[in-house]
A and B are shown apart, each in its own frame.
Chain A
């Protein structure tokens, strides 16, 4: 068999594994979130469908799939459906540049547990993150509803502001690692024996804020804002079309961005070898879900900002901080 075919096969398998695992986990994250929210709020959360309510996500999925599809009058149908795709696709694509462990060989073939090990991986992350905004804008525009429209505009304003901060906060790490490849960044941390969070604590905190803002989590969930905008930009969607938006935004996006945070700041898969051969993967997942848990925890504790505050904080406080951080990092790295 030729090299190309084997590579294709391996990549296909990797794609299916990542898709299967993360869509499944994304669905089950709803269960986890509801359980967590329940316990934070002094109640039990889902418990009737299956043991510990474990079949609840399946029941929800079934319900969403069998719901009647209602499209608002005078909606732009093409854009209306396109928005669903545009919301989901970039969120999934983000997983393609995440390395889950070191490379290993199987049947004489070297396999890297990353779908696309490209040398501009971090750039791709930004690109996909920015693409997410189209899903929001399109859904708000196509729905022919004022609430959806206002919600989508709010989200757009937030994403534009925080994309810039995100880029600058990550720049420091890229300077330190000297590469934009995600695998390279993890390797750099392993070689030095230090996680980049030690060198870049400010950048890490900024990144966390941006992560919350990009994924629309409390305290930055203004585009949903149940009380004012009745869930904002996807208010006119029903059934699974509605289900896709929270899945993409609240779960897939949060997971992907947490995974990237782990890669950039928390040393990727590195960790003491205590789980045997699966150790790197488990470490990666532990760190990643630690961050996911943190996001969910905030969601059920804090109130939300208002739109103008969020953009104000983004442009006036975070961006100067991020730029300052980059400049200082560059100076220190160059001279020392």
Chain B
């Protein structure tokens, strides 16, 4: 995807005298003063067509006077261009842009939670992932990776039998803080002011929420008057972890974000890092990546289909979907060695060459799968109960797609053809032929149809990848080991001294990345998964921001559910399809 063109940049420079335009290797940045920020964003949104909110986050520079830099990434759907707007906070404060883009509410809350930056004019500036009363801001540079061990948490043995000397087993006595029940109660109270009859705690552990999300429903009878979401039960501080790891070391962590589409996550991450490091990927690796990413997409959509139908009471579709998932899992396991968190991709290629017979199995799967799809359609698509539950439920308008930063099937269900695979092709997506299905109305049913059709398109892509891979010679390289930042495959390390030395160097010292910044994203089954890497040189990113599609897709949920019933809530949540590993990171 190209970045803002020079003509628009000049126009903005003319309009706003003190805006600095910076063209870096991978991005175009606009630097603006805090006072002018809202005006500039307003201009970008309404005049220049940068309507689609992609991301907002902060970067901490403890040495600078203002310390915190706010970064906005916006997208222009007409010109297919992105732009980054940067501004410095004053006295730890930034203006809130929730009036312009509603989803900025959540992004700003996250920045407040992680950096302590306050936003003027925010309707309810609460912590996003941590609980109320937590006193630190974890993503600040002065917060140590391991946290502050200050609370003594006795083990169960100690509670029962008292502390012994020597201790009953070997463990750290002091731990970082954890939320107490009072903390959680305070968190809950802070989110929702009760208006109606009763507040239903839907979650954190509830079969309908597909993970550990905590919904608060203020109910009037069965109607939801207002709703808020408490996230953070799965918050692991991925971004903090990434700042303390070499680039290649962070790869397995991406698996654990959206754990249902691990390979797609890896692909998005590897894509960003390769851009930063300037690594070329061999053709074979590109096709293997594409094929597996699409298999993973089908896998993920099948899980969505199964659980979505299960939520609406169709118990059998669930097992039918899992039957096919199993086959994909087997293919992935046969190649990567793992089923779920596969860590299959590598910077510069893939971990292993294709296992023997993989293509035959994939071909058999391609042949068989359309029949299965027909089966799902038979069970659901024209089923009157299914239609009644999904039609006209949770309609998302086109404006809301932009305002809430929605991406992926949720955006396409509302008729916005936003698909990174087409707009900014990565891997081999520019060489394969596929269509982008879009919906018309933007209700749950449309999103259902879009996802069903996406599986068909994925199948088409896989088919083309297979025929391409069959033509490539067996000896073709699957990893670009010539590049100094790419580790050589394991087999060669034990035979070749130079490879061994190189691997040793990378493992110990990490890749040597040039200073700069890069934003690259991948089209995940749950929307755009973007990685923004700010590098000051060296082997670790200074800041790695993960733009989660699932989080932004979820941000529209409280709006859509207002005035509807609990039964609609699960239909709606199923159609937004968040995965908590990714929303919380």
- A interface residue numbers (CB < 8 A to B): 37, 40-43, 146-147, 150, 154, 218-219, 221-222, 225-230, 299-309
Contact = CB atoms under 8 A, between A and B. Distances in A.
A306 B389 contact: yes
B321 to A, nearest CB: 11
B570 A41 contact: no
A18 B234 CA distance: 53
A230 B319 CA distance: 19
Given A219-B313, A300-B315, 5 more contacts: A37-B316, A225-B567, A230-B207, A302-B313, A307-B222
Interface stretch (B145-153, B288-296, B377-385, B511-519): B377-385
A302 B567 contact: no
A306 B379 contact: no
A187 B315 CA distance: 41
Nearest to B390: A303
B567 A222 contact: yes
A306 B565 contact: yes
Given A146-B200, A230-B207, A308-B222, A303 B566 contact: no
Contacts, number: 84
Contacts of B309: 303
Interface residues of B, number: 32
B319 A303 contact: no
A305 B386 CA distance: 8
B565 to A, nearest CB: 6
Interface string B428-449: 0000000000000000000000
Contacts of A43: 319
A305 B389 contact: yes
A69 to B, nearest CB: 22
A9 B569 CA distance: 56
Given A227-B207, A230-B206, A307 B565 contact: yes
A41 B385 contact: no
Given A303-B309, A303-B380, A303-B383, A146 B208 contact: no
A227 B312 CA distance: 8
Interface centre among B222, B313, B388, B568 (most CB of A within 10 A): B313
Interface string B201-237: 1000011100000000001001000000000000000
A227 B208 contact: yes
Contacts of A302: 313-314, 383, 385
Contacts of B385: 219, 302-305
B361 interface: no
Contacts of B323: 42
A181 B310 CA distance: 43
Nearest to A301: B316
B369 interface: no
Contact of A218 (B198, B201, B208, B313): B313
Contact of A227 (B201, B310, B565): B310
B523 interface: no
B389 A228 contact: no
B320 A228 contact: no
B311 interface: yes
Contacts of A229: 566
Interface in B443-498: none
Contacts of B222: 150, 154, 307-308
9 contacts: A146-B200, A150-B566, A219-B313, A225-B313, A226-B310, A227-B570, A230-B207, A303-B309, A307-B565
A219 B323 CA distance: 24
Given A41-B319, A42-B319, A43-B319, A306 B380 contact: no
Among the interface residues B219, B323, B379, B389, which one has the most CB atoms of the partner chain A within 10 A? B389
B302 to A, nearest CB: 14
Tell me which of A225, A228, A305 has the highest count of chain B C-beta atoms within 10 A of its own C-beta. A228
B79 to A, nearest CB: 42
Nearest to B314: A303
B379 A301 contact: yes
Contacts of B315: 37, 41, 218, 299-300
A305 B320 CA distance: 21
A230 B313 CA distance: 12
A299 to B, nearest CB: 8
A41 B567 contact: no
Interface in B337-386: 379-380, 383, 385-386
Contact of A308 (B312, B320, B565): B565
B567 A306 contact: yes
Nearest to A149: B198
Nearest to B379: A301
A302 B316 CA distance: 8
A150 B565 CA distance: 12
Given A222-B567, A228-B566, A300 B316 contact: yes
A228 B316 contact: no
A91 to B, nearest CB: 23
A305 B384 CA distance: 10
Contacts of B311: 227-228
A229 B202 CA distance: 9
A304 B383 CA distance: 11
Contacts of A222: 567
Contacts of B380: 303
Interface string B491-534: 00000000000000000000000000000000000000000000
A307 B316 contact: no
Contacts of B319: 41-43
B569 A228 contact: yes
B13 to A, nearest CB: 54
Contacts of A230: 206-207
A-B pairs, top 6 by smallest CB distance, nearest first, are: A304-B313, A306-B567, A227-B311, A303-B314, A41-B319, A227-B208
Given A146-B200, A307-B222, A228 B383 contact: no
A228 B565 CA distance: 11
Interface string B44-76: 000000000000000000000000000000000
Contacts of A41: 315-316, 319-320
A304 B312 contact: yes
Contact of B207 (A219, A226, A304): A226
A304 B386 CA distance: 8
Given A227-B570, A230-B207, A302-B385, A221 B565 contact: no
Contacts of B219: 150
A225 B569 CA distance: 13
A299 B313 CA distance: 9
